[in-house]
Chain A
Amino acid sequence: MTRAFLGMPTTAPRGVGHLRGEQTFPAAARQALADPQLRRNLGHATATIRAKSAGVIAEVPDWEQLRAAGSAIKADVLARLPELLEQLEDRVSAAGGVVHWAADANEANAIVVDLVRATGNDRVIKVKSMVTQEIGLNEALEAAGIAPVETDLAELIVQLGEDRPSHILVPAIHRNRAEIREIFLRAMPGVDPGLTDEPAVLAAAARRFLRQTFLSTPVAVSGANFAVAETGTLAVVESEGNGRMCLTLPRTLITVMGVEKVVPTWRDLEVFLQLLPRASTGERMNPYTSMWTGVSPGDGPQEFHLVLLDNGRSAVLADEVGRQALHCIRCSACLNVCPVYERTGGHAYGSVYPGPIGAVLSPQLTGVADNASLPYASSLCGACYDACPVKINIPELLVHLRDQAPHPRGESAAMAAAAYAMDHPALYAAAQRATRLSRLTGRRGRGLPPPLSGWTASRDLPEPPAQTFRQWWASR
């Protein structure tokens, strides 16, 4: 491989991580839609979070000004990304941290495995992190004989249930309390057999189960919500305290972050720490936020590693329209308002990034051909754009990516034929008259014959009028 090729923006590699599904979105969605329990769970959860979030956003008189600032800060970050990453590296190193660079998932996994091995431990505790799911870190650790323990309650539910996450913020959103109780009874060692499905009782069971693990595991792996280039400060936003445990108790902390998570200045946090909690969990502030800069002598991990990951982000950045998907702060507001997500859930999207943001981010990280059905997993209603705290124009991106997706040859032939007919008035009038004939053969909604039946499989064909406009005009 030449140096020039290595230095070109590159999509995320195949065969590692969780950015590609095994099925197309329509096929996976059909299975999800056939599960009434799943639809009830999702409908209940998304309605709850929408109401909570709307309530606390309404309390903030300058919400639109904060959105505008958040969007602009992220655009500024992308425009200056190389220099900001160099500055971040410099500051983290000066504060006693070690910075590693990983061009893709395989490199990142290898770096983390080597770092854990160097500590001599065969178990790590993990804070919920989208990026480590993206790169398939848990599988890489297990293959190296290292046990990753997910400590976020929802991640624990997913891990114990041998399931896959289905939401950015609440990976077990597809499970209700009764299902969670069953998973705990089946898979949580030492659980009280009298466990009830009260949420507080389930949370207490997780507390007991993980306490010993927290106190006895000397290595933790985390993601990061923000990294401040100016100061070298990392921030993790969480609720349960499992994040604080992982960031405070172990001797060694390894943080993996996508390169786009950097923000220029300390002051920029004032925007995102107002936007993120209200848009994501619908809280004025999440229960716990931890910030650390390198290593603090006598307090917390005495060895800190930061892994900066590309894994397709450079390819997203190279698209002038598409790059705004890198503004995402992983709040999941777009999932919660999406009529498609609310019905299909997250698994149907195949990638760890589900919902509207996933439909525009995953195809760009992998190359559109590898996730070609995702840009169509939307009705383009625009609710996601309105909800996004950093104003990502998701509908614009969906249309942009549909244009890049491979299209069947018949489609362009049909479009060319339609364009030709519309350019020739006599032909157009004849075509309109011909649609009347179809009234004799079928009733409304019956659909078109193959090969056009794909179009009408999920759409009603409008009933042709008894008279065309031209015929009406001529008869007046």
Chain B
Amino acid sequence: MTAREVILARLRAALDPAPAPVEVPREYRRDAPVDLDRLVDRLTDYRAHVHRVAETAVADTVAAILPTGATVVVPPALPPAWLPATVTARPDDDLDNRQIAAADAVITAAAVAIADTGTVILDGSPDQGRRVLSLLPDLHICVIRAAQVVAGVPQALARLTSHRPLTWISGPSATSDIELNRVEGVHGPRTLHLILLP
């Protein structure tokens, strides 16, 4: 008998007599209006920096965040107009991990944002790139459009595709491991900027 057969036989034996079928009550909220102010409030509460600007102002906003000459990792399909001339772009043409870690910052788009929880979700699309790009640099600038913002977790899952690698980000890297207080800044980016477009 393989371990697989043993386990499945044990579980089937444990379920004899068979339990009654279970009906799952789904009376919780599944649709709610989107509140962009709530998204900003939630993000700010977790020490992310939020900038609400027009799309034409993204490059200027980035230039104000990063010092002149900063190196910035750039996913393959990031809109070029988002990059100011003051930074040095490092497009991801198979950068190795040390090159990515050595960069000052990364700029990505996002797939979905959740207002209730202050979450942005990256799904690896070409304007967001591989997961490692938004992980190793110490500063992450994420650009999101109002149309990508949903009210809650159910609406976000409905928009996402399960087979893509997903990263849900709610504020900068943090820990509650020292006396159960939230402290920002462990292994992920210690600074998170959200640029919210109309």
A binding-site residues for B, Cβ under 8 Å: 3, 6-10, 41, 44-46, 48-49, 52, 61-62, 65-66, 68-69, 72-73, 75-76, 78-79, 81-82, 85-86, 95, 100-103, 107, 151-154, 157, 169-170, 172-173, 176-177, 180, 199-200, 202-204, 206-207, 210-211, 214-215, 228, 231, 233, 239-242, 244-245, 247-249, 259, 266-267, 269-271, 273-274, 277, 281, 283-294, 296, 298-300, 308, 310, 314-315, 317-318, 320, 323
- The answer to whether the Cβ of B56 comes within 8 Å of any Cβ in the partner chain is no
Q: Determine if B187 and A6 form an interchain contact, defined as CB atoms under 8 angstroms apart.
A: no
Q: Determine if A101 and B7 form an interchain contact, defined as CB atoms under 8 angstroms apart.
A: yes
Q: Determine if A241 and B187 form an interchain contact, defined as CB atoms under 8 angstroms apart.
A: yes
> Chain B: which residue is nearest A292 at the CB level?
B165
Cα distance A271–B153 when bound, in Å? 8
Q: A245-B187, A285-B114, A300-B165 are in contact. Are A308 and B7 (CB under 8 A)?
A: yes
> Chain B: which residue is nearest A315 at the CB level?
B14
Q: Determine if B13 and A7 form an interchain contact, defined as CB atoms under 8 angstroms apart.
A: yes
> Chain A: which residue is nearest B187 at the CB level?
A241
- Of the listed stretches B17-25, B61-69, B80-88, name the one at the interface; the rest are far from the partner chain: B17-25
Cα distance A239–B176 when bound, in Å? 8
Cα distance A199–B164 when bound, in Å? 35
Cα distance A211–B173 when bound, in Å? 14
> Chain A: which residue is nearest B19 at the CB level?
A79
Cα distance A301–B178 when bound, in Å? 31
A265 to chain B, nearest CB (A): 10
**Chain B residues with CB below 8 A from A211, complex form:** 101, 187
Q: Determine if A228 and B162 form an interchain contact, defined as CB atoms under 8 angstroms apart.
A: yes
Q: Determine if B188 and A288 form an interchain contact, defined as CB atoms under 8 angstroms apart.
A: yes
How would residues 114 to 142 of chain B score, 1 for a CB under 8 Å from any chain A CB and 0 otherwise?
10111100001000001110010000000
**Chain A residues with CB below 8 A from B114, complex form:** 285
Q: Determine if A283 and B170 form an interchain contact, defined as CB atoms under 8 angstroms apart.
A: yes
Q: Determine if B22 and A72 form an interchain contact, defined as CB atoms under 8 angstroms apart.
A: yes
A201 to chain B, nearest CB (A): 10
**Chain B residues with CB below 8 A from A269, complex form:** 153, 157
Q: Determine if A285 and B118 form an interchain contact, defined as CB atoms under 8 angstroms apart.
A: yes
What are the 8 closest A-B residue pairs judged by CB atoms, nearest first? A241-B188, A7-B9, A241-B187, A314-B10, A240-B186, A318-B14, A285-B117, A289-B168
Query: Can you list 23 contacts pairing A with B, beta carbon distance less than 8 Å?
Result: A9-B11, A65-B27, A69-B28, A73-B24, A153-B178, A170-B180, A176-B179, A199-B179, A202-B178, A206-B186, A240-B187, A244-B131, A249-B135, A267-B157, A273-B157, A287-B172, A287-B188, A288-B169, A288-B173, A296-B164, A299-B124, A300-B131, A310-B10
Q: Determine if B22 and A76 form an interchain contact, defined as CB atoms under 8 angstroms apart.
A: yes
Q: Determine if B1 and A7 form an interchain contact, defined as CB atoms under 8 angstroms apart.
A: yes
**Chain A residues with CB below 8 A from B173, complex form:** 239-241, 287-288
Q: Determine if A82 and B11 form an interchain contact, defined as CB atoms under 8 angstroms apart.
A: yes
Using C-beta atoms within 8 Å of the partner chain, give the interface range for chain B: 35 or more
Known: A274-B152, A293-B165. 5 other contacts (CB 8 A): A72-B22, A78-B19, A206-B187, A231-B162, A270-B30
**Chain B residues with CB below 8 A from A206, complex form:** 186-187
Q: Determine if A239 and B11 form an interchain contact, defined as CB atoms under 8 angstroms apart.
A: no
Q: Determine if B14 and A288 form an interchain contact, defined as CB atoms under 8 angstroms apart.
A: no
Cα distance A78–B19 when bound, in Å? 9
**Which positions 140-167 of chain B face chain A at CB distance < 8 Å?**
152-154, 157-158, 162-167
Cα distance A291–B169 when bound, in Å? 12
Q: Determine if B153 and A273 form an interchain contact, defined as CB atoms under 8 angstroms apart.
A: yes
State the total of A-B contacts with C-beta under 8 angstroms.
271
Dominant secondary structure at the A interface: helix
**Chain B residues with CB below 8 A from A157, complex form:** 177
Cα distance A153–B185 when bound, in Å? 12
> Chain A: which residue is nearest B135 at the CB level?
A244
Cα distance A102–B5 when bound, in Å? 10
Q: Determine if A298 and B130 form an interchain contact, defined as CB atoms under 8 angstroms apart.
A: yes
Cα distance A76–B162 when bound, in Å? 22
Q: A203-B178, A207-B186, A299-B131 are in contact. Are A79 and B15 (CB under 8 A)?
A: yes
Cα distance A103–B2 when bound, in Å? 9
Q: Determine if B130 and A82 form an interchain contact, defined as CB atoms under 8 angstroms apart.
A: no
Q: Determine if A6 and B166 form an interchain contact, defined as CB atoms under 8 angstroms apart.
A: no
Interface centre among A79, A107, A151 (most CB of B within 10 A): A79
Q: A3-B1, A285-B119 are in contact. Are A291 and B174 (CB under 8 A)?
A: no
Cα distance A320–B15 when bound, in Å? 9
Cα distance A95–B130 when bound, in Å? 18
Interface centre among A157, A231, A240, A287 (most CB of B within 10 A): A287
Q: Determine if B153 and A270 form an interchain contact, defined as CB atoms under 8 angstroms apart.
A: yes
Cα distance A233–B163 when bound, in Å? 7
- The answer to whether the Cβ of B184 comes within 8 Å of any Cβ in the partner chain is yes
Q: Determine if B24 and A153 form an interchain contact, defined as CB atoms under 8 angstroms apart.
A: no
> Chain B: which residue is nearest A181 at the CB level?
B178
**Chain B residues with CB below 8 A from A207, complex form:** 185-187
**Chain B residues with CB below 8 A from A291, complex form:** 162, 165-168
Cα distance A86–B27 when bound, in Å? 29
Q: Determine if B22 and A75 form an interchain contact, defined as CB atoms under 8 angstroms apart.
A: yes
Q: Determine if A293 and B177 form an interchain contact, defined as CB atoms under 8 angstroms apart.
A: no
Q: Determine if B8 and A9 form an interchain contact, defined as CB atoms under 8 angstroms apart.
A: no
Q: A241-B173, A293-B162 are in contact. Are A266 and B157 (CB under 8 A)?
A: yes
B5 to chain A, nearest CB (A): 8
Cα distance A170–B132 when bound, in Å? 26
Cα distance A180–B20 when bound, in Å? 50
**Chain B residues with CB below 8 A from A82, complex form:** 8, 11-12, 15
**Chain A residues with CB below 8 A from B170, complex form:** 283-288
Q: Determine if B162 and A203 form an interchain contact, defined as CB atoms under 8 angstroms apart.
A: no
Q: Determine if A240 and B174 form an interchain contact, defined as CB atoms under 8 angstroms apart.
A: yes
Interface centre among A7, A65, A81, A202 (most CB of B within 10 A): A7
Cα distance A203–B140 when bound, in Å? 19
Cα distance A78–B97 when bound, in Å? 42
Q: Determine if A172 and B177 form an interchain contact, defined as CB atoms under 8 angstroms apart.
A: yes
> Chain A: which residue is nearest B8 at the CB level?
A82
**Chain A residues with CB below 8 A from B22, complex form:** 72, 75-76, 79
Cα distance A151–B3 when bound, in Å? 31
